[in-house]
Amino acid sequence: MSRKRSNREGTINQRKDGRWEAKYSIDGKRKSIYAKTQKEVRALLKQKLKELEEAEAKGCKNYLEKSKTTFGEWLDIWLEDFCRTTVRASTYSWYETFVRVHIKPSLGNYKMCDLTSEHLQQLLNAKKRTPGNESAESTLSNRSIDGLKRVLRASLHQARIHGYMLANIMEGVKTERIDDEEIHCLSKEQHIKLHQTAKKWQKEWPAAFSVLVSLYTGMRKGEILGLRWCDVSLDPVRPYIHVKHTLSRHKNMDKNSDKKTVRELCPTKTKRSKRIIPIVTELYKDFVEYEKSQIELKSKHGIEHKETDFVFQSNAFKEFEPRRFYDKYCKILEDAGISEADFHTLRHTFATRATELSMDINSLSSVLGHAKKSTTVNMYCHDFEEQKELSMKRIFYINSDILENGNDNNYSRNHLTVV
């Protein structure tokens, strides 16, 4: 029993075992699709022919062969060919962990042509940390779920570009909206206490000066650890710090090495992260004294001071191990009587003090090295709202004085500056 289909649509036959078979030609080869009913096989054939037409229209060569690649195999290709040489080592490590730990075990064996939005949604739902499964190692926080979703989106986008799949199966995949994290900064009292404690600690641990540098420049921990003397200008006319690198420990991408992780000096996160930060007068004096003490200390140990040396070094005069540096920082916090303040809190504290002193958004965004000015506004909008209110009140008082006394000559444009 058979029915001849029109040209290019193939043929549909019922087999002896009762199943229905649809045959079609592609690149001179005959392919088959099977289903239990004639209706089902006709729908599958229609879908397949539509895919082939779409692939042809998009210029996707060898689509049938590529679409049979498993998702796990494609993820390996994506990591090796599209990520390894184009993203920072720490970012690659982050991607690789998501792929190896969370995606491959669940979806790695699916062929690209069989992967659907439902599969992706089910994965993200299963990984979500809920009140009943907080302790499960395989579950993720909302922020990590968002990261997992970004890895899926990026990898599948490249798969579509290179003809491994046609549909955008990420469309319609939903995750819970991530609320902006509350920015934690030191109070003015804690700020003063930490400043004093860090100064005291410099006597036994000179690198405690790094706490002050971060407090008054907003530099990130990796940027502090990656700072070298050639990046610091102590010219009294215009002293500055040129942020160029970050120091971090990440997964070792060298397949021939036995080391699982490596400590590496890498370029900054974004182009705007590479920036020049002016050194204020008070910090400049401390910087000069710190460099002098470092030269003397190295001289006592028979070590020459070099421009390529890291500004903050371990007792062995080498770059810091990030974890050990952070442990020391925590001890300073404990001595200052401050809890729950990671190193990034110093950056938030700098930004908050800057907004309290009416630093304009362009300057603050530049000093912080944010990729977009909107990032600065979104993170510290509460502080800007307070400054805006104060500025509006100042305008009201000025206008009132003008109306009451006709006194409009005593106010320059500087009085009317609104942050």
Please check whether residue 313 is in contact with residue 325, taking contact to mean a CB–CB distance below 8 angstroms.
Answer: no
- Kindly report the pTM of this predicted structure: 0.73
Measured at the alpha carbon of residue 96, what is the angle toward residues 93 and 99, in degrees to the nearest 5? 155
At 49 the pLDDT is: 82
At 4 the pLDDT is: 45
Q: Which amino acid is at 49?
A: L
At 5 the pLDDT is: 44
Please check whether residue 378 is in contact with residue 365, taking contact to mean a CB–CB distance below 8 angstroms.
Answer: no
Burial class (CB in 10 A: 0-12, 13-18, 19+), 346: buried
Which CATH class name applies to 71-161?
A: mainly alpha
**pLDDT tens for the chain, residues 1 to 419:** 444 444 355 789 999 999 999 988 776 678 888 889 999 989 888 888 887 777 777 777 777 788 889 999 999 999 999 998 888 888 898 999 999 999 999 999 999 988 999 999 999 999 998 776 665 567 898 889 999 999 999 999 999 999 898 888 999 899 888 766 677 899 999 999 999 999 999 999 999 999 999 999 999 999 999 999 999 999 999 999 999 999 999 888 777 888 888 899 988 878 889 999 999 998 999 999 999 999 999 999 999 999 999 999 998 999 999 999 999 999 999 999 998 899 999 999 999 999 888 888 899 999 999 988 888 888 876 655 666 666 666 666 655 555 566 555 544 444 433 33
Provide the edge-to-edge strand list for the sheet that holds 232-233: 232-233, 240-243, 275-278
Kindly give, in sequence order, each residue whose CB lies less than 8 Å from that of residue 67, ignoring residues fewer than 6 positions away. 111, 112, 113, 164, 165
User: Which CATH fold topology does 188-373 show?
Assistant: hpI Integrase; Chain A (1.10.443)
Q: Which amino acid is at 363?
A: S
Q: Tokens 């504290």 appear where?
A: 349
Ordered DSSP codes for 326-355: HHHHHHHHHHHT--S--THHHHHHHHHHHH
At 216 the pLDDT is: 96
Kindly give, in sequence order, each residue whose CB lies less than 8 Å from that of residue 41, ignoring residues fewer than 6 positions away. 12, 20, 21, 22, 33, 34, 35
